[in-house]
Amino acid sequence: MQKLLYNSTRGQEVGLEASEAIVKGLAKDGGLFVPSFIPKVDLDFNKLKDMSYQEVACYVLGLFLTDFTEDEIKHCVYSAYDDKFDDASIAPIVKKDGHYYLELFHGSTIAFKDMALSILPYLLTTAAKKQGIENDIVILTATSGDTGKAALEGFSDIEGTQIIVFYPKSGVSMIQERQMVTSTGANTHVVGITGNFDDAQTGVKELFNNKEFNKELAERNFQLSSANSINIGRLLPQIVYYVYTYAYMVKHNEINIGDPLNVVVPTGNFGNILAAFYAKSLGTPLNKLICASNDNKVLYDFFDTGTYDKRRDFILTISPSMDILISSNLERLIYEIAGENPDMVNHFMDDLASEGMYTITADMKNELASFYPGFATEEETLKAIKIEFDATGYIIDPHTAVAKAAYDSYTKDTKDDTKSVIISTASPYKFTKSTLIALDDKYESIDDFTLLKELLSISGIDIPLAVKDIDKKEILHDTVCDKEEMQEIVMNFLNR
């Protein structure tokens, strides 16, 4: 097999082994690591269709992690995708009324972040060992709500690691916050930021790029890495479920091998849908990648006009994990459509930093044909929950509902009847309040914890362990800080 190396989108770091790129997280030049080519394989769906999720994961990851041994990959995959997931198939696909949902919320924090963050700690510790690293690895993470808890779960008490999570103090759901601040594990730290997700993410990126700070850490035998989707080790495991979904659809005679399949992805930081793009580049016959945004529709406007413009108000919505104006992973797509030219990436990213916007070339825009942008307002999101429930009795969370609304507009506007899989990114139990309000206003005045029981009686689906009795768990983290204080806070944690 051909060795696959990784390059920074901004050109200054090239030719890294996968393990090196995973340990670093973010490149020194501020860029993101991308595979230097997409592996050339004939995906054999006749074989893939009979493989378990774990087997598909070993196969797909093997293509990208060429410096890992087969045993190392197996160790990572089977440690991650085990009975932490409450469904033996890991990523069940359900059929409703002509469309399908890929349920990515059966992991320990009931959002799709578990798909990558249950394996990242194993990839990272394996990679560090391969690189001969003896420092403790400090995972710095900014979260819009879901990554934080998934990372805390994944890294809790993993030897040789510290995990520090920053979340927007007023920008996450009550259950999301409670999940994070009750995290156990001697190496876990959680901090609320008085700002929004972009403030948290920008603050974390600045720490990564702060040479003084990194030097100081190194003197104390620490080094930074990232659990955000800027880490390629987060992105690669997400390719797996697109390949798996296609194979599943073949196996269950929903499609024939080679038939096109649309996917509809509720999008924020552009990690999930970028994984779909990589799966398609790998040869999975995906047709349209429908990119669904909420009211923070910076991506919709980008695909529509070719201009990425973050100069707008940040809107807090009922799909908070998608409340993002700077979608980090788009940089990887920009690199791709710019013909892998880091000079152009630097140019656009400089514009974004200084002007708050950039416009891609007409040639680049032509490369975006497989993406179809959609968005849903708050009202449309609530309506989508209600429509699905009334039609099928199936309850979707507000993030998934943004995708469902975008899918409905897509089919109406294009008349495309290609089979479509809507990516379901969170359990309704994680966003109980907004989910239930969509069904009936009367839930407005009831607290989230009582509503868990209400949702149980309506859905008949057991309350997941992740949120069961969460109101009774002890709050273990209560630090709040300004963006300017992040560096100091990190040092304080590590000095303990």
Tokens found for residue 34: 């991308």
Cβ atoms of 324 and 144 closer than 8 Å = yes
Among 272, 317, 420, 432, contact with ligand PLP (rule: CB under 6 A): 272
Among 11, 30, 168, 268, contact with ligand PLP (rule: CB under 6 A): 268
**Would you say 125 or 321 has its CB closer to ligand PLP?**
321
Beta carbon of residue 373, minimum distance to ligand PLP (angstroms, whole number): 13
Among 10, 288, 310, 399, contact with ligand PLP (rule: CB under 6 A): 399
270 binds ligand PLP (CB under 6 A): yes
First to last CA, the chain: 46
Candidates 108-116, 352-360, 458-466, 484-492; binding stretch for ligand PLP (CB under 6 A)? 108-116
Among 271, 342, 428, 464, contact with ligand PLP (rule: CB under 6 A): 271
Among 27, 426, 436, 466, contact with ligand PLP (rule: CB under 6 A): 426
Residue 179 CB-half CA count within 13 A: 30
Q: 115 φ, ψ to 5°?
A: -60, -40
Binding mask 120-149 for ligand PLP (x = CB under 6 A): --------------------------x---
Neighbours of 132 (CB within 10 A): 6
Among 229, 262, 432, 435, contact with ligand PLP (rule: CB under 6 A): 229
427 binds ligand PLP (CB under 6 A): no
User: Cα–chain-centroid distance for residue 120?
Assistant: 12
Q: Which residue, 185, 136, 190, is CA-closest to 168?
A: 190
321 binds ligand PLP (CB under 6 A): yes
Binding to ligand PLP in span 441-480, by CB under 6 A: none
Candidates 42-50, 105-113, 156-164, 462-470; binding stretch for ligand PLP (CB under 6 A)? 105-113
Candidates 167-175, 268-276, 367-375, 407-415; binding stretch for ligand PLP (CB under 6 A)? 268-276
Candidates 48-56, 69-77, 107-115, 463-471; binding stretch for ligand PLP (CB under 6 A)? 107-115
111 binds ligand PLP (CB under 6 A): yes
The Cα–Cα gap between 140 and 410 comes to 38
The number of residues that bind ligand PLP (CB under 6 A) is 17
269 binds ligand PLP (CB under 6 A): yes
179 binds ligand PLP (CB under 6 A): no
Beta carbon of residue 15, minimum distance to ligand PLP (angstroms, whole number): 27
196 binds ligand PLP (CB under 6 A): no
Site for ligand PLP, rule CB under 6 A: 111-113, 146, 229, 266-272, 321-322, 399, 425-426
